[in-house]
Structure 1
Amino acid sequence: MSTAETDDQLAQRLAAAAGAILLDLRARGDLEGKALGQAGDEAANAMLCREIRAARPGDALLSEEEKDNVARCARSRVWIVDPLDGTREYGEGRSDWAVHVALAIDGVAAVGAVALPGLGVTLTSASPPPLAPPNHPPKMLVSRTRPAAEALFVAERLGAELVAMGSAGAKAMAVVRGEADIYLHTGGQYEWDNCAPAAVAAAAGLHVSRADGSPLRYNNADTYLPDLLICRKELAETVLRRAREFGR
């Protein structure tokens, strides 16, 4: 591997390569459902971890599929990866799943690549697409299987159209791509679920924060992140205000 490869280039290449592995595995047709999802997770994770460790031996690594070592918290640079975000959707033959490769520097999502292999695209923080015009009425993304009550409350107050979709990465990139305007998640995630999407969304000029407006921080000893908001900046204040009203 060339030592001239930048962090952005590495993230993009590996996210795309993991996506290709997952597509090839699914195309074989000898696995399906949960078995396919597990095999895909394992294959993509093995490649990602091997390549990151070879290319950046001095950096720490946090992966959904690897045993965590909290010694990483002492490092400035940590790669945060989700080899297969949306295992259910992948196993069902859908396109709304993703591969996340991110680099957090001093707790900030600095570099990110999100591959959407089912759509044939990889979005990166280095070259995000220009923002599309807003949708009218605004479109708000929710989980296919368990839409959060807070999101439903906010959508009703905004008069937003609900769009059900699978993985966190797919939903976040739908906002980046202009297919939707708001992604509010309050059902709990982990750092690998949104580090790469947050980096890409922020680079694209979107609002990215916790559901209370506070910044997202990564490389914590506890990797659980309760909530997330990615939306168009002109909607952020209203969404945050409505979210605060929930449960009053």
Structure 2
Amino acid sequence: MTETGQTAQPPTDDHAFAAWAATLAGERLLAVRGEGLEGRELKDAGDAAAQALLAELLATHRPDDAVLSEEAADDRARLEAERVWIIDPLDGTREFSEPPRDDWAVHVALWSGGDLVAGAVAQPALGECFVTGQAIELAPRRSERVRIAVSRTRPPAFVEALAAEMDAELVPMGSAGVKMMSVVRDVADAYVHAGGQYEWDSAAPVAVARAAGLHTSRVDGSPLVYNQPDVSLPDLIVCRPELAADILAFVERHGTE
């Protein structure tokens, strides 16, 4: 975890650059949040402001790299590129539009050579940015009862069944990135999802989760693969390593319907 303010020159290291860009976008989003907008106007303003800033930073400081963003048209040239930044300028737009909620995030990840190589997840309302490239100490588990992060509005039925089998507690929260970082922070022990997502929803959080030593996979145990022609990546598991076998076994027996 790092705190990265604006500097005169951007970092040359890709890990530090991801954190720098995510943090600056988060600062911009906090400023937008303070402009007095509400509801849809606030959501749209946040999406647009963060996208514009990240697009400018990447075009200026990583001009030879491709970009895949939730808030921009998909440039298929990325499929032939050596380096692709996968970004979600505002993950958890609904929570962002409900001050003072803090469960929203900015995702900045770098894909190269067939896999994620750097990533940062900023949680601006907490003043934190989780980033690869340095030691990420997984917080010691304080809860005897397993905690599973779920959507605050639509927890999947199969996760409720999983929680019942494991005698686990469901912990509702917003942004997908926040749910994954909750496992790093020992706010939850697992995040299990099968309701539909895209590459930008998980790329940066998965990079950080891996760096922290967490288990990351599809719900069938297969690897999470990025920079694909179809950017849908509908399911995943991020959890403490000791829970992975039980969660995968449950999904194999019961599925996700």
TM-score tier (shorter): over 0.9
Structure-2 residue corresponding to 1:87: 93
AA matched with 2:18: A
Structure-1 residue corresponding to 2:56: 50
Structure-2 residue corresponding to 1:243: 251
AA matched with 1:18: A
Does 2:169 match 1:161?
A: yes
- Indicate conservation of the 8 Å contact 1:20/1:117, yes or no: yes
Q: What residue ranges of structure 2 are gaps of 5+ in the alignment?
A: 1-7
* Candidates 205, 211, 225, aligned match of 1:217: 225
AA matched with 1:110: V
Distance in 2 (CA, whole Å) between partners of 1:139 and 1:223 is 29
Distance in 2 (CA, whole Å) between partners of 1:204 and 1:177 is 10
Structure-2 residue corresponding to 1:9: 16
Distance in 2 (CA, whole Å) between partners of 1:75 and 1:38 is 30
Q: What is the 5 A alignment of 1:162-177?
A: 162-177=170-185
DSSP-derived class of the 1:218 partner: coil
Distance in 2 (CA, whole Å) between partners of 1:10 and 1:133 is 28
Structure-2 residue corresponding to 1:99: 106
Q: Identity of aligned pairs, percent?
A: 52
Give the C-alpha shift of residue 223 in structure 1: 0.4
- Indicate conservation of the 8 Å contact 2:10/2:17, yes or no: no
The TM-score, its normalising length taken from structure 1, stands at: 0.96
Q: Which string of whole-angstrom CA distances, capped at 9 and with x for unpartnered residues, describes residues 198-229 of structure 1?
A: 00000000001111111011001110001010
Q: Which string of whole-angstrom CA distances, capped at 9 and with x for unpartnered residues, describes residues 59-82 of structure 1?
A: 110010001111211112100000
Does 2:67 match 1:39?
A: no
* Candidates 120, 124, 147, aligned match of 1:113: 120
DSSP-derived class of the 2:71 partner: coil
**Closer, same or farther in 2 for the Cα pair 1:191/1:141, shift >3 Å?**
same
Distance in 1 (CA, whole Å) between partners of 2:11 and 2:71 is 28
Distance in 2 (CA, whole Å) between partners of 1:227 and 1:54 is 34
Distance in 1 (CA, whole Å) between partners of 2:112 and 2:208 is 15
Q: How many residues in Structure 1 have an aligned counterpart in Structure 2?
A: 247
The TM-score, its normalising length taken from structure 2, stands at: 0.93
Give the C-alpha shift of residue 12 in structure 1: 0.4
Q: Which string of whole-angstrom CA distances, capped at 9 and with x for unpartnered residues, describes residues 120-176 of structure 1?
A: 100001235311222211100110111112211211111111100000011000001
**Closer, same or farther in 2 for the Cα pair 1:128/1:97, shift >3 Å?**
farther
Q: Which string of whole-angstrom CA distances, capped at 9 and with x for unpartnered residues, describes residues 3-46 of structure 1?
A: 861111110001000000000111121x1112101101101101
- Indicate conservation of the 8 Å contact 2:102/2:125, yes or no: yes
* Candidates 196, 203, 222, aligned match of 2:204: 196
Q: What residue ranges of structure 1 are gaps of 5+ in the alignment?
A: none
Structure-2 residue corresponding to 1:21: 28
CA RMSD of aligned residues (A): 1.4
- Indicate conservation of the 8 Å contact 1:128/1:200, yes or no: no
Give the C-alpha shift of residue 53 in structure 1: 1.6
